[in-house]
Amino acid sequence: MRQNSRALRLTLLAGASVLALVAASPNASAADMAAPMAKKAPPPPAAVVKDRWSWWIEGGAFGSGGGDVNFAGPVGLKPNWGGEGAIGFDWQAAAFAPWHFSGQFRYGAATKGRPLALAVSGTAGGTPFAVTVVGNESLREDHWLVDFAVGRDLGVGNANAQWKFGVRVADLRAKLTAAGVISGTVGGSATTTPFTIVEKSNFLGAGPRLGIEGSTPLGGAWSFDWLAGAAALFGHRELKVTTFTPTPPMTNSVDFSDSGTV
């Protein structure tokens, strides 16, 4: 509508100029009046900027950091590697370009199992003792996280890079289960007791996240995607250890919890 009004104004002004010229020159011929008027072509319509949506899915492997999950000193393990999947989106609104709004959900899990064997001996109060533990143990680790972020194009080269600032919510869990038989000798007396031990460790927290990411074209349909970022999560962590022995029936539970930062 704005461009059509401008073209109309140009036409009216051109017509007024011709009429003024004719009025000032009464000797002008009819042939001069019949000559076509040169008109300036209206500018081409501006390109319509649309919202741009990008959806993606991802699958791969992850490695667990930190130390072993354990319940009895050196007896412990960690799964090291597991599978992970994610889904996310990036939305660049035409009204807010070059700003982006993005989010993702990510989940991963890893498991590991192995035989359990432990032997401890010594002297307590002058009485010799020996304890052996034989059985199996298994560990499962799960994690999920949700990210929401606002980003802005960097406009550097052809890497489609943008920096992002947002919030991350994450839940990290580990469960270690051990079952077997405890055999002990104190002085001259020997006992054998089946046992089950379950250790659960979890953390749930949220906090700010800052990152940078981009996609560098390699030719054809190939590209090199890269990212780097850091987040500080403030939340609640808990450790619970439950021990059960059937003979005699006895259940012991120890629970620790506090606030922490990851």
The secondary structure of residue 27, as a DSSP letter, is: T
Alpha-carbon gap, residue 147 to 211, rounded angstroms: 11
Q: Please give the tally of structural domains in the chain.
A: 2
Write out the residue range of the structural domain in which residue 146 sits. Answer: 49-261
pLDDT in tens, 56-71: 999 999 887 666 666 5
Place of tokens 């059509």: 4
Percent of the chain with pLDDT over 70: 76
Place of tokens 């003024």: 20
Alpha-carbon gap, residue 215 to 198, rounded angstroms: 44
Place of tokens 């533990």: 133
pLDDT in tens, 121-154: 888 777 888 888 898 988 899 999 999 999 998 8
Burial of 222 (0-12, 13-18, 19+ CB in 10 A): exposed
Query: Do 157 and 246 sit in the same domain of this protein?
Result: yes
Query: Do 158 and 79 sit in the same domain of this protein?
Result: yes
Query: Do 37 and 145 sit in the same domain of this protein?
Result: no
Query: Do 114 and 243 sit in the same domain of this protein?
Result: yes
Query: Do 83 and 9 sit in the same domain of this protein?
Result: no
Burial of 221 (0-12, 13-18, 19+ CB in 10 A): exposed
Query: Do 79 and 135 sit in the same domain of this protein?
Result: yes
